[in-house]
Chains A and B, each alone.
Chain A
């Protein structure tokens, strides 16, 4: 067929000028590798963030209304959630589990070391619902405490260690918690969890810092949220109700946008590579003006000339994108190791699809760069082209 002959022609021309073809291909390889590697990194980042956050996706958090902030407000300190409010929440969401949480922070002494950590006061029954145990046991009685994973590691706390909380007395650590990662409700990783009765005795709090409602079915979230607001914020806004799933979505969307933006920056390198293809193709047209005149005079149509040059761009794009796509796996591996210290998000479809995107983009840019030179070659006046030396 025709096409095979023109393709063959294009192939021979690429080989004839192998050095500059190689350089153009190199540009495409680098461009494809850049966008694929950055794309994979971005995707891995989103996946890893969503993994570390997803444990809290099934909660509704009720916090005291941050009233008075902003215009016209007095900047008053938010109040706490009273026992009456907690009872109201409990009734509103029944039979779902309602977990009121005291929170605070304090200087703590372990052995001779002083440090600062957060303290959460929880009813002993609620703890297993919210937190996982790494070693030891859950709380028994009110003079024991559990340490967060990072807090325990940093302060060399073991099951059985004793910890002195400010001037409120000493507690025995009965369990170390599993690392929980970032959360929107409580972050016990860098602190301790105590029984709510101990917290009440020690600090006599006016109310709870937050109330967590565990939702069984994610589809219930909106309904439950509305119900709490209806019951508590009837006359004035007493509490803010936060749905962690919405926060999670917002954060993931933000990460996704950042990763898209960075990938687009990587795309610029591919556009630069496209310009270099444009450049060598224009050179190739200029050098071959006479040849184009001969081709036209012996019966080659304009569109056939066009096709011949487009094939040249296509060959450069195919080779560059092919090699670039293959090398991207190593590139993605390298950035994953360096930035995330893990490659577990590399071989998943949503990461690997970036190789396809990158290659398609590389081939597309190459073809696009070939359009103008091909058009220019096909529109040469055959007589003038023949006369060209």
Chain B
């Protein structure tokens, strides 16, 4: 059994769903969020996941981010089987290899821009003297240095999302998960953010998986996966 799973996981995919189901037991009957999904994502891909709300795209993203575990099936992240991992192991996997970008930016309100970027790095290394690395990442996001000491509430949406992307990148993860990254931005700022993500995929080789329902945004991705009622119905590109 374990050998079988290891064989499934060692096909070179950075993320692999093998017959993955996710069922939420509810009093009014079980809700099948994902139904025996098979999906391979190779290193360096840029994928858009599209589908109506309630179709299971967020569940798919949460499973990739190790925020949740499958009810059935095998989910491999970077060749490792996530089945049976403890909460602590999943958290470490997330911290070291996966970066999250949210629609709401979700910066920590108590910390300024620079500290928000520092936070995951300190979590990982335990070292507070990591300002250089954080400034470097922030600078790559085209954020003015004068804004580093600003609290999130003092930044515009675009600036907040740049800080959030810097935070996602600071631990140099291979995988970036973005949930409607431009959903709260005007189209001009949205375009700038997408250019940034595209650049990270092209030049830094980051694997990016992005949930969106905006076809214009989905165009930045090399491959689009459509999901309806917990099943992948089409793959384009």
Q: Which residues of A contact B (CB under 8 A)?
A: 1-2, 4-5, 9, 12-13, 16, 290-291, 294-304, 382-383, 386
Q: Mark B98-114, 1 if CB is under 8 A from A, else 0.
A: 00101000101110000
A386 to B68, CA, bound (A): 12
How many angstroms from the CA of A61 to the CA of B85 in the assembled complex?
79
Contact present for A299 and B109 (CB under 8 Å): no
Contact A2 B95 (CB under 8 A): no
Contacts of B171 in A (CB 8 A): 299
A-B contact pairs, 27 of them (CB 8 A): A1-B126, A1-B128, A2-B122, A4-B128, A5-B122, A9-B110, A13-B110, A294-B108, A295-B108, A296-B67, A297-B65, A297-B67, A297-B100, A298-B95, A299-B95, A299-B120, A300-B91, A301-B87, A301-B88, A301-B91, A302-B87, A302-B88, A302-B91, A304-B123, A383-B62, A383-B68, A386-B106
B120 contacts which chain A residues (CB < 8 A)?
A: 298-299
Contacts of B135 in A (CB 8 A): none
Instruction: Contact check, A298 vs B110: say whether CB atoms are below 8 A apart.
Output: no
Q: Does B222 contact A (CB under 8 A)?
A: no
- Chain B CB within 10 A, most for which of A4, A12, A294, A296: A294
Majority SS of interface residues in chain B? Answer: helix
Distance, CA A5 to CA B111, complexed state (A): 11
Q: B71 CB to closest chain A CB, in angstroms?
A: 14
Task: Indicate which residue in A290, A291, A300, A382 contacts B123 across the interface (CB closer than 8 Å).
Answer: A300
Q: Is the interface of A mostly helix, strand, loop or mixed?
A: helix
Which residues of B (115-136) have their CB < 8 Å from a CB of A?
A: 119-120, 122-124, 126, 128
Contact of B96 with A by CB under 8 A: yes
The docked-state distance in angstroms from the alpha carbon of A296 to that of B68 is: 12
B interface residues, how many (CB within 8 angstroms): 27
A107 to B31, CA, bound (A): 100
Which of these, A2, A5, A382, contacts B67 with CB under 8 Å? Answer: A382
* A294/B91 contact (C-beta < 8 A), A4-B128, A299-B96, A382-B67 known: no
Q: In the complex, what residues of B have CB within 8 A of residue A2's CB? A: 122-123, 126
CA distance A295 to B96 in the complex (A): 14
Per-residue A-contact encoding for B149-166, CB less than 8 Å = 1, 0 else: 000000000000000000
Residue of A nearest to B96 (CB): A299
For residue A298, which residues in chain B have a CB less than 8 angstroms away from its CB? 94-95, 100, 119-120, 123, 167-168
Shortest CB distance B87–A (Å): 6
Counting CB contacts under 8 A, is B92 at the interface? yes
A299 touches B94 (CB 8 A): yes
A5 touching B128 in the complex, CB below 8 Å, given contacts A299-B96, A304-B123 = yes
Cβ-closest chain B residue relative to A379 = B87
* Closest-CB distance, A85 to chain B (whole angstroms): 83
Cα A382 to Cα B102 with chains together (Å): 14
B168: which A residues are within 8 A, CB to CB?
A: 298
Tell me how far the C-beta of A96 lies from the nearest C-beta in chain B, rounded to whole angstroms.
74
Taking the closest CB of chain A, its distance from the CB of B98, in whole angstroms, is 8
Residues of A within 8 A of B109 (CB): 291
Task: List the A side residues contacting B62 at CB < 8 Å.
Answer: 383
For the complex, give the distance between the alpha carbons of A5 and B167 in Å.
16
Within 8 A of A (CB), among B26-62: 62
Q: Nearest Cβ in chain B — how far from A140, in angstroms?
A: 88
Residues on A with C-beta less than 8 A from B123 are 2, 298-300, 304
Residues in B with CB closer than 8 Å to A299 are 91-92, 94-96, 120, 123-124, 171
> B171 CB to closest chain A CB, in angstroms?
8
For B107, the closest partner residue in chain A by CB is A294
The answer to whether residues A297 and B94 also contact, given A13-B110, A291-B108 and a CB cut-off of 8 A, is yes
Residues of B within 8 A of A290 (CB): 106
Contacting residues of chain B (213-235) with chain A, CB-CB under 8 angstroms: none
Instruction: Provide the bound-state CA to CA distance between A13 and B168, in Å.
Output: 24
Question: How distant is the Cα of A118 from the Cα of B92 in the complex, in angstroms?
Answer: 87
* Distance (whole angstroms) from the CB of B228 to the closest CB of chain A: 21
Residue of B nearest to A303 (CB): B88
For residue A5, which residues in chain B have a CB less than 8 angstroms away from its CB? 119, 122, 128
Give Cα distance in the complex from A354 to B116, angstroms: 44
Partner of B110, one of A4, A12, A296, A302: A12
Please report the C-alpha to C-alpha distance between residue A161 and residue B216 in the assembled complex, in whole angstroms.
Answer: 118
A297 neighbours in B (Cβ, 8 Å) = 65, 67, 94, 100, 106
Interface string of B63-97 (1 = CB under 8 A from A): 00101100000000000000000011001101110
Q: How far is the CB of B104 from chain A (nearest CB, A)?
A: 9
Measured CB to CB, the closest approach of chain A to B151, in angstroms, equals 11
Q: Smallest Cβ distance from A70 to chain B, in angstroms?
A: 71
Residue of A with least CB distance to B99: A298
Contact A16 B110 (CB under 8 A): yes
Contacts of B65 in A (CB 8 A): 297
Specify which chain B residues have a CB less than 8 angstroms from the CB of A295 in the assembled complex: 108
> Shortest Cβ distance from A295 into chain B, in angstroms?
7
